[in-house]
Structure 1
Amino acid sequence: MTETINRRNFLTKGAVGGAATVAATALAAPAVAQELPSIKWRLTSGFPNNLDTIYGGATVMAETLSKITDGKFQIQVFQAGELVPGPQAIDAVKANTVEIAHTCGYYFTGKDPTFAIGSTIPFGLNGRQQNAWLYHGGGNEAYNEFLSAYGVVGIPGGATGAQMGGWFRKEIKGVADLKGVKMRIAGVAGEVMSRLGVVPQQLPGGDIYPALERGTIDAAEWIGPYDDERLGFYQIAPNYYYPAYWEGGLTIHFFINKAQYEGLPPAYKAALDAACKAANINMQALYDVKNTAAIRSLVGKGVKLRPLPRDVMDAAYKTTFELYAEYSAKHPAWAKIYPGWKKFRDESFEWFRVAEYSYDSYMYSAQASGK
């Protein structure tokens, strides 16, 4: 009898103790969460909000981050020019005028062409190769070492895939037809095209249509069918060329004030990284869906799809790598990153030719033949 009572007491005490442990654990979890600070940042986008897919990369990131942190880490998104003019985004982040920007590195090549190598450069990587280099090929580390001199940390946060080569009023039959053409084209690509006779103009997305309409420019490149149709370029320049040899796989970055980033708790850094990855994947997927419908729509409106002539591509390729050699001689940061990037590019191309290219080539030709 005594043994039975003792056993019952033990079980009762054990049950109470177990319940207390569970209760303590349940109470501890919110207590730990409450230790994380409430943070509010402001983000300046490099894009107007009517370009919902590329601008939307920032909102996808901000909404994801808020949900992961139960609303404790908030980022308010402002469209280009609302807080800071687009060309001043990096300076604003460095000065902590805003904590974060969402824009393209190649917009800042006037400071140093190395800004472009983290986003995209002519005859570079495609979208998958770009992610591979940035995430697992040393690209993020190399790019952030460069960015540290500007007080900034970069995290990939958007992708477009291979872009279109732009809209031209007149047909381009060869390199000679490029001479004197005033074209909206940014970054390193503008320098390459200038050496082929083009007069490059760097304009924000929202200013391109008025410039085409007024005749201030003769041609323009932006992204691809979905955005280009929304911007109405086809109404003025009916010749639509492909591909953009200068943007085989653009990455848009979140550029973050370095001190602000380093001051984040580790949990918030992990949450921010996850949210940026979500934005990166989501943007590429959206463009792949939207461009598929938009290219059919544009052709239905009478747009003339044309490949860039082979002599233009060949001349641009030669000019591009001559320019890269010049950059290596003049810009120490470029010289430090470029050899590793070029090695990764060449070896990645060797692999992609084996399975990916062979598969794609057969499937596209089979589908095009009606099989």
Structure 2
Amino acid sequence: MERRSFLKTGALAAAATAVAAPAIAQSQPQVKWRLTSSFPKSLDTIFGTAQQFAKYVSDATDGQFEIQVFAPGEIVPGLQALDAVSSGTVECAHSPTYYYIGKDPTLGLGTGIPFGLNARQQHSWWYFGGGEQIVNGVLDRFNAYSIPCGNSGTQMGGFFRNELKGVDDLKGLKFRIGGMGGAVLSKLGVVPTQIAPGDVYPALERGSIDAAEFVGPYDDEKLGFIRVAKYYYYPGWWEGGAMLHLIIGKEAWAKLPKPYQAIVQHACEAANNWMLAKYDYVNPGGLRRLVAQGAQLRAFPLPVMEAALKAAEEYYAETGAKSPDFKKGYDSMVAFRGENLLWWQIAELSYDSFMNRLKAR
């Protein structure tokens, strides 16, 4: 082909593409959804994930599909997000499914359980290990459908007013902790309370709780825990890779055109990657600043970790005996974990261990 002919053809193709893109967008209906988040606006990463998701959807549809994001309390409280979706009050919510284990314990597996999976493993189990079918099978009873939309990575163990020296120090401890971590710790004498993120600091300041966990250094700094508690524990063994979800009403999802459904799924995946990458970037600086402000870093004592693991296994056996769905999901996750940790030990763990030694040197 002659150069002039090629340039002419290429220019025409480019022009056609430029015209076609808006035309395709205009051929799709205009859709407006409302999204209620379980997280306050002050937490720019975790609340921002819902905003990023909404932006991706709008950009991909040339503004034809708009999702307005609301903070807790603007429509419903943060812990009532699933109820708002189930009733049709909103089309969707951004929330961890483990907030709703009171409805069905299987929903805890959607976010992650104590001594469960890390972020990448949780993602893999959801899409390839059967997690999606198990958790969404339960959510279907609540008129909802979920898609992963964010992950925090491994979390911190939280801020404590007093130092933990052993298992006995857990007895009577009033601890803000969500999901199954609270149920496990209650076996060791902890008094767990599930408080929405925006209410945690006042409770810790008043002394109505003795300790609080949330996500990691970046958010913990914003929430101001260091001002009322100084002992900062790690790791958050109850959230090795906490997955968040876009929880969508079944009717709203069914009415959505297939192209829009595909866009939502891809936007969730993009938002999922954005959140994990953002936390990996901001948490190191947050940790340094907290230590500079007086945070006393402490690893959970090994006896506490071992006692918590034993309590967790007892809890899972008891829960599985009452809930076939949970047992099915837990057995699936354990089988996946056993196989995956074998690979992780050979590749990821050995590489990370070497690189940490290199850093220390």
Same-fold call, TM cutoff 0.5:
yes
Letter of the 2:169 counterpart = D
TM-fit CA distance, 1:262? 1.7
- 1:85-125 deviation digits (Å, cap 9, x = unpaired): 12221111011100000011111111111111011100010
Letter of the 2:354 counterpart = Y
- 1:225-269 deviation digits (Å, cap 9, x = unpaired): 000011111111100000011000000100000111122111101
2:234 paired residue among 225, 234, 242: 242
Alpha-carbon distance in 2 for matches of 1:123, 1:156: 20
TM-score scaled by structure 1?
A: 0.91
Alpha-carbon distance in 2 for matches of 1:286, 1:238: 25
Alpha-carbon distance in 2 for matches of 1:287, 1:33: 33
Are residues 1:216 and 2:208 paired? yes
Equivalence for 1:270: 262
TM-fit CA distance, 1:29? 6.4
Letter of the 2:154 counterpart = A
Equivalence for 2:225: 233
Tell me if structure 1 keeps the 8 A contact 2:146–2:246. yes
2:178 paired residue among 181, 186, 189: 186
When Rg is computed on C-alpha atoms for both structures, the one with the higher figure is 1
TM-fit CA distance, 1:30? 5.3
1:105 paired residue among 87, 90, 97: 97
Equivalence for 2:328: 336
Alpha-carbon distance in 2 for matches of 1:197, 1:40: 47
1:135-146 to 2 correspondences below 5 Å: 135-146=127-138
Equivalence for 2:152: 160
TM-fit CA distance, 1:70? 0.7
Name whichever of 143-152 and 96-105 sits farther off. 143-152
Change (3 A) 1:319 1:26: closer
| Partner SS for 1:173 | coil
1:98-137 to 2 correspondences below 5 Å: 98-137=90-129
TM-fit CA distance, 1:182? 0.6
Letter of the 1:275 counterpart = A
1:77-88 to 2 correspondences below 5 Å: 77-88=69-80
Equivalence for 1:14: none
Alpha-carbon distance in 1 for matches of 2:232, 2:280: 18
Alpha-carbon distance in 2 for matches of 1:366, 1:88: 47
Alpha-carbon distance in 1 for matches of 2:186, 2:239: 17
Are residues 1:290 and 2:282 paired? yes
User: 5+ unaligned residues in a row in structure 2: which ranges?
Assistant: 1-11
Are residues 1:261 and 2:250 paired? no
TM-fit CA distance, 1:358? 0.8
Letter of the 1:212 counterpart = L
TM-score scaled by structure 2?
A: 0.93
Equivalence for 1:7: none
Letter of the 1:75 counterpart = I
Alpha-carbon distance in 2 for matches of 1:311, 1:48: 35
Are residues 1:56 and 2:51 paired? no
TM-fit CA distance, 1:320? 0.5
Change (3 A) 1:35 1:218: same
Alpha-carbon distance in 2 for matches of 1:331, 1:300: 47
Name whichever of 50-59 and 83-92 sits farther off. 83-92
Moved over 2 A (4+): 20-35, 135-138
- 1:117-149 deviation digits (Å, cap 9, x = unpaired): 011100010011111111232222222122111
| Partner SS for 2:163 | coil
| Partner SS for 2:246 | strand
| Partner SS for 2:45 | helix
Change (3 A) 1:70 1:30: closer
Alpha-carbon distance in 1 for matches of 2:16, 2:220: 57
Alpha-carbon distance in 2 for matches of 1:218, 1:26: 60
- 1:131-174 deviation digits (Å, cap 9, x = unpaired): 11112322222221221111101011011100000111111011
Alpha-carbon distance in 2 for matches of 1:23, 1:360: 49
2:295 paired residue among 303, 310, 318: 303
- 1:184-240 deviation digits (Å, cap 9, x = unpaired): 011211011111111111111111111111110111111110000111111111000
User: 5+ unaligned residues in a row in structure 1: which ranges?
Assistant: 1-19
Alpha-carbon distance in 1 for matches of 2:290, 2:15: 62
Equivalence for 2:243: 251
Are residues 1:352 and 2:344 paired? yes
Letter of the 2:63 counterpart = G
Equivalence for 2:3: none
Alpha-carbon distance in 2 for matches of 1:201, 1:118: 21
Change (3 A) 1:30 1:221: closer
Change (3 A) 1:122 1:26: closer
Equivalence for 1:314: 306
TM-fit CA distance, 1:28? 7.0
Change (3 A) 1:298 1:22: closer
Letter of the 1:285 counterpart = A
Change (3 A) 1:28 1:276: closer
